[in-house]
Amino acid sequence: MAHKISVLLVEDEKNICDFISTSLVSHNYRVTEAHSGQEALPLITSQCPDLILLDLGLPDMDGMDIIRQVRTWASIPIIVISARTQEQEKVAALDMGADDYLTKPIGTSELLARIRTALRHSNRLNTGSLLYKRPFCSRDLIIDFEKHKVTLAGKEIHFTQIEFKIIALLAQNSGRVMTYDTIISNIWGPYADDDNSILRVNMAHIRRKLEQNPAEPKYVFTEIGIGYRMVEDEMH
């Protein structure tokens, strides 16, 4: 009997809870529900689920506090599901350690895709991160991390060192949103000025080299006001 992936769903609205639970169970996930922060935290420590789906607006505490507490001791993937649409809320949740952020209402296929991405990243962390050793591939794009080489439709593309670092970081986190601050501190260091303009200039250069039509990107997508997301790696 294959191990069923366990998901802890932390959500206080019954109809949303039922909808998500039913969708996940029908795709062979094992789901435990918690309807408050006080209910969720003991379950996280005792069950150590494979993934947490977390509503931020809980009746007894802010979901941000749950992310903060869990991140002090575990790297369990956390996907935030929230009715809050403000960009700063999304940025705060992602910077605090959430793996992804979905805004209600959500569709089943979108939810399942985001769960697969989050689980794949956590598996890589546990298995010595194979992705860092083998190239990233999607459509016509290949990024070889070891050789620092990018080819598009068989042609090598020249990137500056900074541009390559940015595209490699996005590719190593493919399918996930990387916030501006996360990218800036990874590339320029934790004390870098959090001015996005230098990042935007570099991204514009990267897009011009990668995308046939930068206004309709195929590889690197902008999450407006939040950051960037690289197309999903196809060789998983």
pLDDT at 27: 94
DSSP run (H or E) holding 15:
helix 14-26
**Band of the pLDDT at 221, cuts 50, 70, 90?**
very high
- Band (pLDDT 50/70/90 cuts) for residue 235 is low
Number of domains in the chain: 2
Residues 119 and 164 in one domain: no
197-210 and 161-172 are packed helices; what angle lies between their axes, rounded to 10 degrees?
80
Mean pLDDT (the chain, rounded): 86
Q: Are residues 81 and 187 in the same domain?
A: no
| Residues 139 and 116 occupy one common structural domain | no
Write the pLDDT tens digit of every residue in 85-122.
Answer: 778 888 889 888 898 898 888 889 889 988 988 887 76
Confidence of residue 134 (pLDDT cuts 50, 70, 90): confident
37/101 same-domain check: yes
pLDDT band at 166 (very low <50, low <70, confident <90, very high): very high
Same domain as 118, residue 134 = no
- % the chain with pLDDT above 70: 91
**Which domain CATH number covers 199?**
1.10.10.10
Of residues 12 and 235, the one with the higher pLDDT is 12
Please indicate, yes or no, whether residues 96 and 191 belong to a single structural domain of this protein. no
* 116 and 167 part of one domain: no
Give the closest residue to 37 by CA, choosing from 12, 7, 61: 61
Q: In the chain, how many H helices and how many E strands?
A: 8, 12
Domain housing 39 = 6-126
Give me 226's structure tokens: 């939040």
Model confidence at 232: pLDDT above 60:
yes
pLDDT tens track for 171-207? 988 888 888 988 888 888 767 776 778 888 999 999 9
Closest listed residue to residue 7, CA positions, set 26, 58, 110: 26
Residue 43 within a domain: yes
φ/ψ of residue 235, rounded to 5: -100, 55
- Report the distance separating Cα 117 and Cα 122, nearest Å: 9
Residues 184 and 75 in one domain: no
Domain assignment of residue 26, yes or no: yes
With b meaning 16 or more CB within 10 Å and e meaning fewer, what string describes 148-185? eebebeeeebebeebbbbbbbbbbbbbbbbbbbbbbbe
Residue 181: what pLDDT?
A: 86
- 133 pLDDT band (50/70/90 cuts)? low
Rounded-to-integer distance, Cα 85 and Cα 82, Å? 8
Domain boundary among 94, 126, 158: 126
Q: What tokens appear for 138 in the block?
A: 């999607």
